[in-house]
Amino acid sequence: MSKTLAAKDLSRRQFVITVAAGSAAAAALSVVSPGAVFATEDAKTLDEAIKSIVGDKELMDGADVITLDLPQIAENGNTVPLGISIDSPMTEADYVTKVHLFAAGNPRPDVASFNFSPSNGYAEASTRMRLAKTQDIVAIAEMSDGKAYMTRAEVKVTIGGCGG
């Protein structure tokens, strides 16, 4: 095992640079990583995606109404946990009807729409999504009184490293 300690000859900084350069090159050469790379022909903008779902409805600032539960940094863009929670009494008279989720930086921004009813008790749901890169997640909540709120939050997506 005379080779055991050979890596010590490399300073930490050199090590990081060497490996980083290696994996960057490997990433560039390896063409596709499943789920992370998208073809672009059907790409839609965020505005188009929102319009096709909520039309021209006025979207009020939902920062105090909608809570997005997201990691600040996602370890892997293929599986990013996402929770939403809307401040609503969830009664027959006043409840959240729908929540639409978009990933602004994905080539296809649509993620999911949740259809709630007063029977949910809490206007909360969670899922896991794919993010192509660091980007904003946009949430729109539609209420039973016809109002709609929008908010957004950024998720940084880790790329590179020990992608093996």
Partner 1 sequence: MRHRTAVLAGAVGLGLGFVGIAFTEAGDWGDYQVGDKRSGYTYAQPETQAMQDDDFENPAFLLVDLAAEQWTIPDGTAGKACADCHGDVENLAGVGASYPVYDEGWGKMMNIEQRINECRTENMQAEPLKYDSKGLLGMTALVKLQSRGMPMNVAIDGPAAPFYEKGKEFYFQRRGQLDLACASCHEDHSGEQLRANRLSQGQPNGFPTYRLKWQNMGSLHRRIKGCNRQVRAEPYKSGSDEYVNLELFISHRANGLPVETPSVRN
Partner 2 sequence: MAQPKPRVRVPKKADKGDVVEIKTLISHPMESGQRKDRKTGELIPRKIINKFACVYNGNEVFSADLHPAISANPYLSFFVKVEESGEFEFTWVDDDGSVYTQVSKITVN
Q: Which residues bind partner 1 (CB under 8 A)?
A: 1, 3-4, 6-8, 10, 12, 15-16, 18-20, 22-24, 26, 33-35, 67, 69, 71, 73-76, 78-79, 81, 83, 85, 87, 122, 124, 158-164
Residue closer to partner 1 by CB (options 46, 68) is 68
Cβ proximity to partner 2: between 42 and 64 the closer is 42
**Which positions touch partner 2 (CB under 8 A)?**
31-32, 34-35, 37-39, 42, 78-80, 90, 103, 106-108, 110-122, 124-131
The dihedral over CA atoms of 52, 40, 109, 82, expressed in degrees to the nearest 10, equals: 150
- Alpha-carbon span 80 to 127, nearest angstrom: 8
* Gap between the Cα atoms of 66 and 138, Å rounded: 10
Which of partner 2, partner 1, none does residue 11 bind (CB under 5 to 8 Å by kind)?
none
Taking the C-alpha atoms of 110, 82, 114 and 52 in order, what is their torsion angle to the nearest 10 degrees?
-20
**Amino acid symbol at 4:** T
